[in-house]
Amino acid sequence: MKLSALVPLGLRFVKARATGDGLPLSVIFEVTQRCNLRCKYCSIWADPPPELSLAEIRPLVTEMAAAGVQTVSLVGGEPFLRDDLEDIADAFTRAGIRVAVCTNGSGFAERIAALPGLVFLAISLDGLRPTHDSLRGRGSFDAALDSLRAGVRRGVESLATITITRQNLDVLPEVLALAKAEGFRLNFQPVMNLRYASGRVDALTPSRAELRAFMSEVIAAKQAGAAIFGSVDMLRFIRDNWQPGGGFHQDIGRSDASHVGKVPCHAGRFFCALGSEGTLSPCELLGMPSAALPNVRDAGFEAAFRALPAPRCAGCWCTPYLLRNMATSMRPGAIAQVLRVMMMEGA
């Protein structure tokens, strides 16, 4: 994004903050719930719903651009299981919307190298080969690393997201060395018991003391210059407020959780989530029933966004959302991180 384009966007954001209006700066688009891996802490693949077709997506792209959407994150499931993902990305790119992709990277290096308009690539990497393959399946580490290398060669922001579990608390020195050698950044995400985890994460969840010690090492590495996603403020927030039990899931929807109000959640106001079947929600992590949500198939994007129910969320540890919420709460470190990514051009 050009600096000249940031000024009017910034003015729109300031106005929205002052008036309380919504401005959907980013959309997380779950293009499919199908997945080619069977990770130990996830079952999103078990019952995938019907997906929006390319013909249905194209007019939505136009509406999103008109509503002010700047970035779309194409996620899954595994988004590359859609044969038309290139067409979807191209539609967003032509509309002036920046494209990010979150993938497991298993066998998609060639498609990553050619995906239209890609500016940001996030790939799951849970440690080095033994740890990663034990959690996600044999051969998945090498495939993920090949895909990360494809992103680095292309020149896009390439991020390895490490889900923190008891099985990888000892991998930090090795993954820091790997990231430095290969040229990608690292994102450390505490494991969370989401709607599709079905309690699978309990045995993998570290204790509060274990997580605090691990995040202290991450913060020290960040301050020493390691290429780690997020601001130091964000990393400290996770270290100091995270609770065991899979992350935030036991607190979500409550108003008495220990971290309530420390970072206001702007889901449904400055970002939202589009489900593969067309439901629009403030945030896909909330697990709201589809019947309580508007569907873009019925209303279109703009009307569905205006009809979003107000979320009741104590706050969460999902690092991309946490960074967004800190930035839209005008915390300087988070603003700097978000602006850095927004200034990147597609490759």
pLDDT digits over 84-106, tens only?
999 999 999 999 999 999 999 99
Contact 319, 234 (CB under 8 A): yes
Average pLDDT over residues 173-187: 96
- CATH 3.40.50.150 assigned to domain 23-342? The reply is no
* pLDDT single digits (tens) 124-176: 888 889 888 887 889 889 999 999 999 999 999 999 999 898 889 999 999 99
Contact 245, 343 (CB under 8 A): no
- For tokens 């390691």, the residue is 226
Q: Is pLDDT above 80 for 37?
A: no
Contact 314, 243 (CB under 8 A): no
Q: How sure is the predictor about 247, in pLDDT bands with cuts at 50, 70 and 90? A: very low
Asked if the bond preceding 77 is cis, omega within 30° of 0, the reply is yes
Average pLDDT over residues 319-338: 83
3-class secondary structure, 332: helix
> What is the rounded CA–CA span in Å between residue 75 and residue 230?
20
Residue 128: how many other CB atoms lie within 10 Å: 16
Q: How sure is the predictor about 215, in pLDDT bands with cuts at 50, 70 and 90? A: very high
Contact 201, 333 (CB under 8 A): no
What per-residue confidence (pLDDT) applies to 250? 45
The answer to whether the Cα torsion of 192, 193, 196, 200 is positive or negative is positive
The answer to whether the Cα torsion of 122, 218, 254, 207 is positive or negative is positive
The domains of the chain are located at 23-342
Residue 114: how many other CB atoms lie within 10 Å: 11
Average pLDDT over residues 35-57: 81
Average pLDDT over residues 243-248: 56
β-sheet bridge partners, residue 161: 124, 187
> What is the rounded CA–CA span in Å between residue 218 and residue 157?
20
Non-local (6+) Cβ contacts of 4 within 8 A are none
Q: Which of 87, 203, 54 is nearest to 135 (CA)?
A: 203
Q: Is pLDDT above 60 for 313?
A: yes
Q: Is pLDDT above 50 for 80?
A: yes
> What is the rounded CA–CA span in Å between residue 157 and residue 160?
10
Q: Which of 309, 298, 305, 303 is nearest to 274 (CA)?
A: 305
Q: Which of 341, 266, 331, 301 is nearest to 69 (CA)?
A: 301
Within the chain, where are the H helices? 3-19, 54-67, 85-94, 109-114, 129-136, 140-154, 172-182, 208-223, 232-241, 296-306, 319-328, 332-342
Please state the pTM of the whole predicted model: 0.89
Residue 51: how many other CB atoms lie within 10 Å: 21
Of 55 and 18, the one with more pLDDT = 55
Would you mind telling me the total number of residues written for the chain in this entry?
347
**CA-atom Rg of the chain in angstroms:** 19
State which amino acid sits at residue 174. E
